[in-house]
Structure 1
């Protein structure tokens, strides 16, 4: 790709490399923690948002880079494309799961499998192994990442478990599992497969701060040591009760569309969020979610400067920054309270993107520097 004379040169060193960075879910969380980050993202629409948000914005293909060709960093993070693994996607990744697991074994034995990955029916399937390629390459160069954080849809958990075995063989302490976003203060139900790895001692996945959502169960029910789940109404402050009628039909039946009230968390935000109808308490149709509201349900700041095209898809593809905040902090050996998370998510992005984070998060970010 030709050089852009207006692009700032890549920094020589940052705290975190973010692979498949998208519009900035992990980047936002890293900034909240006081970490410098360089994201690799190829989609030009996501890069337009990154530019407006003050993040590095030149399109990059992660397959063209690696340790030695990228800024040096002590944290490697990434959320590879999920389209071939998600239930709503093509399913090519799920069908190729056994083959992908064999590639992980071969990579652990030192083989270069890039040519074989290129033969997969959908090239996006092989991208799930790019973080492992980067991690192994850094280890061979005697400059290993101290911390690794990966996230994907639940169907990818078997791959994270296989990668865990490879990373443990080279000295990492690794944990992986499925986290529910509403249990970390996100006003939305979404499940993510998470892997955290550290060279600096054992780590645990973050401890939930909120109760799990159950349809028909009151917010006050459940473990009294945990907070009630967050609601759409409290996140958006529309000033009236409403119901969201999903564009999707349960079990494939369009007549059985999902329905959530404003006193519940949102269903998973997807690229089709604008198709969901919203009705008030009298059943009268109300304005559909704005892009800013959809982003807020993902826990991006309300003023996050979404740009480019396919913005709804950008929002739906991103990891919720508040979940990323909890996961990154856990990888650093720390637990974030809901109160501290609210301090940053409710603060305008324009106030935080180019300035020092809140003191508490600055201390977390400086632990391993």
Structure 2
């Protein structure tokens, strides 16, 4: 497989555009499916990781790119993907959250209807001072821009993902994309959205994502990706703990029983991928920065992780995950998770921490992915798990899941030369004059006081 930056020009052959690209979760997935992508990312630290990984990137604000630099996007792009920031919708269960969702739906319909965009922007700012709220409209605006720009074709495939609370907006997106009304100019899509559990796709953590997939009418119906693993549930832990003679909240490497409303037929799917399995595999290559030996007792990896967050309304009630289970959702605070090999360490307070490469592995990034820049834990936590991305993109683009060979290849990232990194940085940032301020501060020499 060629390195991401090897072609004569890094933007050559790009088919997918990743809005809000972050360090590259969807781009990594696209790479292992043989699809070249271009990411737009405003955070300079995430851009540094992308450059080091050889991922074509433009360091910019997605709105600025759409409004004034749209012609820089290759005309070969026919796949639009991304996950807009979600903070504005994290309270979707409350009245305020529902009001936000309902209002954003209204703005979406106004955009498609053809209302004045400057007026829509003013109304958005008066409704919600958080600029991130408006960003959920950007994929729709990028589609409308492509439809209305001479020399461009509408995107063939659209893939969007975010936290579960955004699912109602993806449903509104799907309804609009099916309609072909107003500024869509008759362009219609087969569009569906689902809630997916990452551990059901071989990701060694529990994380739920709301996913939208849309394909131009004529390219085939849209179906959800087929889970490869069983869902994880804690219901069986107490029974298993009692069976082996320990308290239910004590660490054990014994797998917990699966418990769902509809128990699966035994043997139909494997159980989840555990933290121990993922870190053990990532420790095997000689050049791996992942060293699982510190978690090993004898010939087995054995530890438990204490959550950063309380549960049941009690901030002091911190849950545990065993090494034989998937990790908690990997967030930007992953480096704060306390890891203990046994209860004796727990009582002494002698905790360990996951390293950045280890946290990346729990997100299913390759063990040797070149995390760079600052705030690396935040980069890891913000990313889409590439393995989930491979299942979603594979289903969206070709109607089939990734092959075993593709999934096996996705554990190792290809080497990128320093020359390619510098070329990508020059293309993505240039002199910094078009990057989001104040990403590249101009340092002027002090004025001379010499006579």
TM above 0.5, yes or no, is yes
Indicate the SS of the match to 1:203.
Answer: coil
Alignment of 1:245-284 (within 5 A): 245-284=306-345
Say if 2:213 is the partner of 1:196. Answer: yes
Indicate the SS of the match to 1:324.
Answer: helix
1:294 to 353, 359, 384: 359
1-structure distance, mates of 2:97, 2:29: 28
Pick the structure with greater CA Rg: 2
2-structure distance, mates of 1:297, 1:133: 34
Task: Indicate the residue corresponding to 1:362 in structure 2.
Answer: none
Answer yes or no: is the 8 Å Cα contact 1:93–1:125 preserved in 2.
Answer: no
Residue 63 and residue 348 in structure 1: after superposition, are their counterparts in 2 closer, same or farther (change >3 A)? closer
TM-score by length of 1: 0.87
Answer yes or no: is the 8 Å Cα contact 1:295–1:302 preserved in 2.
Answer: yes
How far does residue 255 in structure 1 lie from its aligned partner after superposition? Answer: 2.0
How far does residue 294 in structure 1 lie from its aligned partner after superposition? Answer: 0.4
1:154 to 164, 174, 192: 164
Task: Indicate the residue corresponding to 2:16 in structure 1.
Answer: 16
In the comparison of the two structures, how many residue pairs are matched? 345
Indicate the SS of the match to 1:168.
Answer: helix
How far does residue 93 in structure 1 lie from its aligned partner after superposition? Answer: 6.1
Indicate the SS of the match to 2:315.
Answer: coil
How far does residue 280 in structure 1 lie from its aligned partner after superposition? Answer: 0.8
How far does residue 137 in structure 1 lie from its aligned partner after superposition? Answer: 2.0
Indicate the SS of the match to 2:330.
Answer: coil
Task: Indicate the residue corresponding to 2:204 in structure 1.
Answer: 187
Residue 317 and residue 24 in structure 1: after superposition, are their counterparts in 2 closer, same or farther (change >3 A)? same
Moved over 4 A (4+): 91-95
Alignment of 1:1-369 (within 5 A): 11=11, 14-66=14-66, 68-72=71-75, 73-86=77-90, 95-111=99-115, 112=117, 113-119=120-126, 120-141=128-149, 143-170=153-180, 171-199=188-216, 200-217=219-236, 218=256, 222-223=264-265, 224-237=267-280, 238=292, 239=296, 240-284=301-345, 285-336=350-401, 339-340=404-405, 342-350=407-415
Name whichever of 221-230 and 291-300 sits farther off.
Answer: 221-230
How far does residue 226 in structure 1 lie from its aligned partner after superposition? Answer: 1.6
2-structure distance, mates of 1:93, 1:139: 31
Indicate the SS of the match to 1:255.
Answer: strand
Give CA-to-partner distance per residue, 1:75-106, whole Å, 9 cap, x none: 00011112222359xx9866521111101111
2-structure distance, mates of 1:182, 1:340: 20
Q: Which runs of 5+ in 2 are unaligned?
A: 1-7, 181-187, 237-255, 281-291, 421-451
Give CA-to-partner distance per residue, 1:48-98, whole Å, 9 cap, x none: 11111111344111101235442220100011112222359xx98665211
Name whichever of 56-65 and 71-80 sits farther off.
Answer: 56-65
Give CA-to-partner distance per residue, 1:180-205, whole Å, 9 cap, x none: 00000000000000000001121112
TM-score by length of 2: 0.72
Answer yes or no: is the 8 Å Cα contact 2:39–2:58 preserved in 1.
Answer: no
CA RMSD of aligned residues (A): 2.5
Answer yes or no: is the 8 Å Cα contact 2:158–2:214 preserved in 1.
Answer: yes
Residue 293 and residue 195 in structure 1: after superposition, are their counterparts in 2 closer, same or farther (change >3 A)? same
Give CA-to-partner distance per residue, 1:259-315, whole Å, 9 cap, x none: 100000001001111111111134323521000000100000111111111110110
Residue 15 and residue 92 in structure 1: after superposition, are their counterparts in 2 closer, same or farther (change >3 A)? farther
1-structure distance, mates of 2:398, 2:390: 12
